[in-house]
Structure 1
Amino acid sequence: MPWTMDDYPSSLKNLDKVVRKKTIDIANSMIDEGYKEDQAIPIATSQAKEWYNNAGHREINEYEKNGKPSERSEAGRKHESNPERLREAEQVVAHEGGWAVKSNNAKRPSDVFDEKDDAIKRGREIANNKGTKLTIYKQDGSVQEEQLY
């Protein structure tokens, strides 16, 4: 069952609102990928807390304003699975006065950082976990470096 900020497991009730929001996003994605709810919640909670501890103030504020937990689709139907997103390469690109980490075909970045080195570190972590490629771009949009994981 996909969760929202209004309907989520009671184990999330004491989390900071932004951490809860990120946890719900991650858990919903994991369930769409085939994880069981009892597996997804602790993993998503851990990852959301780690994200919060490593994210900059701008990234947290951006997520708090614009990020949203996946909403239930019609009549509570499960979201369509999107396993191809796991095979997409990651990118580090210039983004509104900072640097963003995003999948090749994603509309929005998964993370935004003030410092490029922080974005590269996160991009490497994601690409390594997915076993894909990381492309790091310069401010002018040209390729700085590519790495395969």
Structure 2
Amino acid sequence: MPGPVYDVTEVTIDGQVLEPEEYRVDAPGRLVRVGGGCWPDCQDMSAPPGEEGTFAVTYRIGLPVDEAAVAAVSEMTCHLLKGCAGGENGSCGCNANRNFTRYVRQGVELDLPDPEVVYSQGRTGLPLVDAWLMVVNPYHLDSASGVYSPDFRRPRVQQWP
């Protein structure tokens, strides 16, 4: 099955729903029948799922998230909702055109990070979001890394009958 499999919602063969104990998912996205059963060799592709002669798998794509990811997404959502709510009182400053980085008034000094520098470093300026991004992607990679070995022979995949 393409994509990282978060969970399998339902597997049907000839309209009959299989129990979750009758199958499992092995990496990378390989659905395995448990208990000695076999998957169908062919199916009627013109029939809708759930009919006689069909085989259908319903699953969700994704990876499980931890509490830190939930906190980061919550902070980002709150930030966007405050600034994008419209009206005059958008309190997060999403739409503000801030052109200063240092503020001094009545003995109070406040240094603010330059937004262009923050964004160019792949950060958002939100503490929880930036901390989570540094944990899951410390080197600011654009895509996942991979390892290839010249000794490993890839299995042959049939492209045409």
After TM superposition, the score normalised by the length of structure 2 is 0.22
Which protein has the larger Cα radius of gyration, Structure 1 or Structure 2?
A: 2
After TM superposition, the score normalised by the length of structure 1 is 0.23
